[in-house]
Structure 1
Amino acid sequence: MLYVVTGPPAAGKSTWITAHAKARDIVIDLDRIASALTGPGAPQWNQDDLVQRVAQRARFAAIDEALKLVDQVDVYLIHTMPSPKARAKYRRHGARIVVVDPGEDVVRERVKAMRSPAMDRVVTRWYRDYRKGGSRPITTQASRAW
């Protein structure tokens, strides 16, 4: 089964996956990939642009390979704002879309505490264009209680 976990930055997407994925499952999380590509002491979030570029390419390769395996293993993919084209691709693979959204006020507080100020723009875009726009995810899932 393919699980596409979506939601704004700092919503709890990784936490949701930690609560549901098993050790054998494949988890594709850009933050985890970037952390794996950096040296000791690198920030967990807010990676350098060059690291992000390499991590994005690794993520695309991982997605392509993992989609071949969804009939053998569960795949959890974090995709904050999948485009209509990406959503169609995921649907073709029988994806369950999971939206993790504890609410805009909670997300903004978390971003303020844990992320760079640039992430605030992503939060605004997610709530404006993705969550409140005309397109609705298939399945809604609330974040865990923090």
Structure 2
Amino acid sequence: MMMKLSKKITAILMIGLFSAFLAGCSQDGQSADAAKPDTGAVQASTADASSSASKKGTIEDKDIVGVWINHIDTDINQKITFHADHTWTENQHNVDNIYSGTWSIKGDHSIYLEPYGETIEINPDNLKEMNVVRYNHRLTKED
């Protein structure tokens, strides 16, 4: 009983913290994000030669669409699915579709998630690696 209660409390606290964070971000506006350069790109040792982005220097929809898993911070059980219609869904803490919205390509190697204002950097040396900049969550694309 204590373990189930603890997980529920943890989930409620996480959702509350995330909601408070989003409320603070909405007051700051997106102009602050636009004014500062994006940092925190994922570093990698291998290149994805099959991707169009490696050849053209910029990512395309097909580089993003698919399932991305956080294999580093496994305790949050994070999985983000990017769909071809530019929608996305996220599973975390064993809760399906805890977050969702739309995505768009922003720059050569980054995407932007609405409605949360998140920037995700795609590793230019390995297009199957991404970093959620604000949280430093690193995910890899499933084959």
User: TM (normalized to structure 2)?
Assistant: 0.30
Bigger share in strand: 2
User: TM (normalized to structure 1)?
Assistant: 0.29
Bigger share in helix: 1
